[in-house]
Amino acid sequence: VNSEDQIIQLIKKKLGSPKSPYGIGDDAALIDPQHLITTDFLVEGVDFKRTEDLKRVGRKVINVNLSDLAAMGAVPEMALGYAAFPKGTKRSQLERFLAGLKAAANRYKVRLIGGDISEAKQWIAGAVMIGKVAKGKPFLRSGAKSGDDIWVTGTLGGSILGKHLDFEPRVREALFLREDLPVSSCIDLSDGLGQDLPRLLKCSGKGAHILPESIPVSRDAHRLSKKTRKSALEHAFQDGEDFELLFTLSPRFQKRLLQRWKRRFKTPLTRIGQVTSQKKCRLAGELWKGFDHFR
Amino acid sequence: VNSEDQIIQLIKKKLGSPKSPYGIGDDAALIDPQHLITTDFLVEGVDFKRTEDLKRVGRKVINVNLSDLAAMGAVPEMALGYAAFPKGTKRSQLERFLAGLKAAANRYKVRLIGGDISEAKQWIAGAVMIGKVAKGKPFLRSGAKSGDDIWVTGTLGGSILGKHLDFEPRVREALFLREDLPVSSCIDLSDGLGQDLPRLLKCSGKGAHILPESIPVSRDAHRLSKKTRKSALEHAFQDGEDFELLFTLSPRFQKRLLQRWKRRFKTPLTRIGQVTSQKKCRLAGELWKGFDHFR
């Protein structure tokens, strides 16, 4: 088995799709009409280096789960932590990890209610988080409509230079959208725009027309492109762990969105294209070659 | 940091005790007045061998969490799975794992609603499980009263010979107790009677008088003692992963418990001693030397 999508397909096939419309596939699963649950974990050597400050790791454990709940427009409420670590782990290291966990949880008023610990060759740390959908249905990946604008928060690419550990989950932005606007679909960018946009469109049964010049390329994508063979735009498309929100909204609400957003947030917000009825993705007219996940 | 109890103390100190009376420390945490959540995971090389059939591992991932919910008298409802595994994992291995997960979940009507996967050097697999407390409060570790009988299900020791993977979580037994009897405290035996009984007594602020000859020593404890320097009784006290229930109940209900139990279950049920008000644990009158966790 290779890609995450292949594995998820296998899991769906073997375990059967859950009856809930918000089961395997969305960023969080529904446990009752008002509560969502999600779990996400980090692995040393895959998601962070052995030498990394464990406070950043603890913070990220909470923040990746917050980002999943944000993608569904849920208010985070409580979390369980879990971790496995090598026998020789020092008390001070564990304390750094716990300090990060606590700082991030406090920042978004998440109550830590329990967890599990064990031993492993490498650090593995995760959390389970429960959130509440304040009113109505959560944001899904499946509601994008033809003609909707496609929006993205923040700037994209090059997160490996630091943002992948220190990003701010878009909790407040998601709750603002949930309250004020009829967002038709939403996902958080964990595997890069080039993979997560196709995922959202596939769930919605739609295509898109993307304007490459509109993509908000981050400074770090530019910095990184000087060291790699890729352009900054390629980094913005392909790099994972941006943890920004990608959402769709009818163009009727464009003005209202922009006005209110500017009043409340410094977080950039960019319209990068439009949803189309053809199940294809075009970059400024050209068929997007990297769009293979879409088949 | 060495023992699990030390680590849990550190976690409590750093993260602060949660406001819920059923937070860090019990087998599951309360998420609302009727729902409990727990998470437990297994690590290759610690909890199972690299060569182990992954179907057994998948089953155990569900069953350890079922055992935690059983310890609190909750009806299991739904679960999220999570797993990290090496890049070279074959599709057939993943399928075995999923088959085990599904079989155990189906057996106890647990709905699998989502999860997370990643890559790691070794297999790590776990689940988050939510259960419902049918009526009244969940079983806690903290309610044992002086004079209560101490009961244990099944037989103890030697689980490494197979039971640690193939045990039956005591879900039905726990729900029967929950319905029919005023159990005063309960815990599942994951680290062995010698560690888990002190844990329960410490939470209750009590001691115990244990009758060593009454301990239900398993056949596997006897088999194992032939290969080790330990007696079968020592294995029954010290071996982990029995996943049996240890609970306390007023002696007034002894007759009712035994009569109804025999009618419903083949699972052995044994009275192994009595709760005392002195915060000491005595084995047939002698102070229990291995009782150091109690200080």
Nearest CA in chain B to A31: B78
Contact B202, B281 (CB under 8 A): no
Sheet holding B35-43, edge to edge: B29-32, B35-43, B124-132, B75-85, B111-119
Over residues B186-200, the mean pLDDT reads 93
* Chain segment B129-147, per-residue pLDDT in tens: 999 987 668 899 999 999 9
CB pair distance less than 8 Å for A84 and B41? yes
Q: Which two tokens stand for residue B46?
A: 């610690």
- State the pLDDT at residue B175: 95
The answer on pLDDT for A89 being more than 70 is yes
Q: How far is B43 from chain A (nearest CA, A)?
A: 6
Q: How many CB atoms lie within 10 A of CB B126?
A: 31
Over residues B162-170, the mean pLDDT reads 96
CB pair distance less than 8 Å for A121 and B47? no
Give residue B27's pLDDT band: very low, low, confident or very high (50, 70, 90).
Answer: low
Q: Which of A116-120, A275-279, B228-232 comes out lowest in average pLDDT?
A: A116-120
Return the residue in B96, B101, B110, B124 with the most chain A beta carbons within 10 A, the one to mutate for interface testing: B124
Give residue B16's pLDDT band: very low, low, confident or very high (50, 70, 90).
Answer: low
Q: How far is A169 from chain B (nearest CA, A)?
A: 18
The answer on pLDDT for A151 being more than 80 is yes
- State the pLDDT at residue B17: 53
Give residue A17's pLDDT band: very low, low, confident or very high (50, 70, 90).
Answer: low
Provide, as residue numbers in chain B, all residues whose Cβ is less than 8 Å from the Cβ of A94.
1, 7, 10
Give residue A129's pLDDT band: very low, low, confident or very high (50, 70, 90).
Answer: very high
Q: How far is B48 from chain A (nearest CA, A)?
A: 12
* Chain segment B56-84, per-residue pLDDT in tens: 999 999 999 999 999 999 999 999 988 99
- State the pLDDT at residue B294: 36
Contact B114, B146 (CB under 8 A): no
Higher per-residue pLDDT: B223 or A46: B223
The answer on pLDDT for B1 being more than 60 is no
Provide, as residue numbers in chain B, all residues whose Cβ is less than 8 Å from the Cβ of A42.
118
Q: Which amino acid is at A168?
A: E
Higher per-residue pLDDT: B115 or A59: A59
CB pair distance less than 8 Å for A94 and B30? no
Q: Which residue among A7, A20, A98 sits closest to B113, beta carbon to beta carbon?
A: A20
The answer on pLDDT for A1 being more than 70 is no
The answer on pLDDT for A279 being more than 60 is yes
Q: Is the ipTM of this complex over 0.90?
A: no
Q: How far is A256 from chain B (nearest CA, A)?
A: 35
Contact A196, A144 (CB under 8 A): no
Q: Count of H helices and E strands in chain A? A: 9, 12
Q: Which two tokens stand for residue A6?
A: 């292949």
- The C-alpha atoms of residue A37 and residue B250 are separated, in whole angstroms, by 38
- State the pLDDT at residue A165: 94
Q: Count of H helices and E strands in chain B? A: 9, 12
Q: Which two tokens stand for residue B60?
A: 């155990």
Nearest CA in chain B to A17: B113
- State the pLDDT at residue B135: 67
Give residue B268's pLDDT band: very low, low, confident or very high (50, 70, 90).
Answer: very high
- The C-alpha atoms of residue A95 and residue A116 are separated, in whole angstroms, by 16
- State the pLDDT at residue A45: 86
- The C-alpha atoms of residue A132 and residue A122 are separated, in whole angstroms, by 33
- What DSSP string describes A192-230? -HHHHHHHHHHHHT-EEEE-GGGS-B-HHHHHHHTTSSS
* Chain segment A36-53, per-residue pLDDT in tens: 999 988 989 888 998 999
CB pair distance less than 8 Å for B10 and A116? no
Return the residue in A34, A35, A37, A98 with the most chain B beta carbons within 10 A, the one to mutate for interface testing: A37
Contact B153, B170 (CB under 8 A): yes
The contacts of residue A103 (CB under 8 Å, 6+ apart) are: A55, A58, A59
